[in-house]
Amino acid sequence: MSSHPIKLSALQTRLFQAKAERKKSFEDIGKQLGRDEIYVAAIFYGQAKPTLDEIEKLSKYLNIPAAHLLAEFGPQFYPDRGGLMSIPPTDPVLYRLYEMIQVYGYPIKAIIHEKFGDGIMSAIDFSASVEKVEDPKGDRVKLVLDGKFLPYKKW
């Protein structure tokens, strides 16, 4: 698929095609799976592992044989989280996210340390959401990143 400059497996490509053919959003699919739209998108990109129940629901909702999904996402599958893009990314949306970290990363880091202490925000115990905020001057994108604070261990 030309809209995905990264390398997708044949099944991942098929997932995107089935989603497009059925005119479903990640939010629609997430409702069927009982998951957030970002988590569902992570499954499509191979960055999250669906449960057997989620595989069955994906199979039925997107009309892809469960056996095909199990062949890719079965017990042998472990997500490859990261490495999907070059740094800095060349896609304009991804580049702007990267740019936000370049510009505001240290200020956000300083405020995290000021409010929580010496530590990090987890990307494992984590959720994210994207909201559309309508505005007469132009719609706005609202990103919410929600991660558990993990203090650095002292020993």
Q: How far apart are CA 37 and CA 31, in angstroms?
A: 8
Distances in whole angstroms, Cα of residue 7 to Cα of each of 17, 41, 48, 97, 111: 15, 15, 16, 21, 37
Active site residue 35: no
Instruction: Please tell me which residue in 9, 25, 86, 122 is annotated as part of the active site.
Output: 122
Active site residue 96: yes
Instruction: Please tell me which residue in 9, 27, 86, 96 is annotated as part of the active site.
Output: 96
Instruction: Please tell me which residue in 99, 127, 129, 140 is annotated as part of the active site.
Output: 99
92: left (phi over 0), alpha (psi -120 to 50) or beta: alpha
- Is the peptide bond between 88 and the residue preceding it cis, with omega within 30 degrees of 0? yes
Active site residue 21: no
| Residues 91 and 85 sit within 8 Å (Cβ to Cβ) | yes
The residues assigned a catalytic role are: 96, 99, 122
